[in-house]
Structure 1
Amino acid sequence: MQLTAPADRRTGTTGSRRTGMRDTDGMAVASFILGLLGLLVLNLFLGPISIALASVALWRGTARRGRAYLGLALGVADLVVLFAFMQADHSVSWSF
């Protein structure tokens, strides 16, 4: 049984860099999905989460930069949609 990550024989390093990139790629995809879902439901919560995940993914240097930028844009759009619907019916929430 091995308790640590196996070392790469070519570089002598562990697989933590590859795992770190996979995590940031996952954050970019998650921000896109949450931003897209936030346009329909819970945009007050999912919008800021999408913005935060996209920002962290971009800061860490994700390979899926386009997906992270889309997640960032959708997170902002979530908050804009919430604000527009709140202004339309003068309440704290919105519905169809």
Structure 2
Amino acid sequence: MNTPGTALRSRNPRTARTPAPAPAAAPAGRQADGMAVASFVLGLVGLLAMNLLLGPASIVLATLALRRGTTRPGRARLGLVLGVADLVVLACLVSADQTWSWSIG
């Protein structure tokens, strides 16, 4: 006899159910969208601090997001532009002050 809450099990191997495969961690589209947003944020923060690290990271994430077919291509392109702007700001700082960071005062 079955107790409530238990499923009936078939003794016939042809009708026995196999467990469904585990779902993927995240769909590729969501990962690409996350990369586009991360690229934008890193590029924006990189204009103010750590442009040596955040600029290239923004460029790489934007490129990966665009290649994976993000649903937010505008945000990925903006992250790409901000990443390049980070490196341009860094080049201007190095050529003007011979420094790798912002200096106030």
Bucket of the pairwise TM-score, normalised by the shorter protein:
0.7 to 0.9
- Structure ranking higher in helix proportion: 1
Shift of 1:40: 0.3
Question: Which of 31, 35, 51 is 2:43 aligned to?
Answer: 35
For the residue of structure 1 that corresponds to 2:27, the secondary structure is helix
Deviations 1:24-73, CA, capped at 9 Å, x for gaps: 00000000000000000000000000000000000111110000000000
Shift of 1:91: 2.9
Task: Tell me the equivalent position of 1:13.
Answer: none
RMSD: 1.7
| Unpaired runs of at least 5, structure 1 | 6-15
Task: Tell me the equivalent position of 2:83.
Answer: 75
Larger Rg: 2
Contact 1:86 1:94 survives alignment (8 Å): no
Letter of the 1:4 counterpart: A
* Distance (Å, rounded) in 2 between the aligned partners of 1:44 and 1:71: 15
Give 1:54-69 correspondences, 5 Å limit. 54-69=62-77
TM-score (norm 2): 0.74
For the residue of structure 1 that corresponds to 2:71, the secondary structure is coil
Shift of 1:92: 3.7
TM-score (norm 1): 0.80
| Unpaired runs of at least 5, structure 2 | 1-19
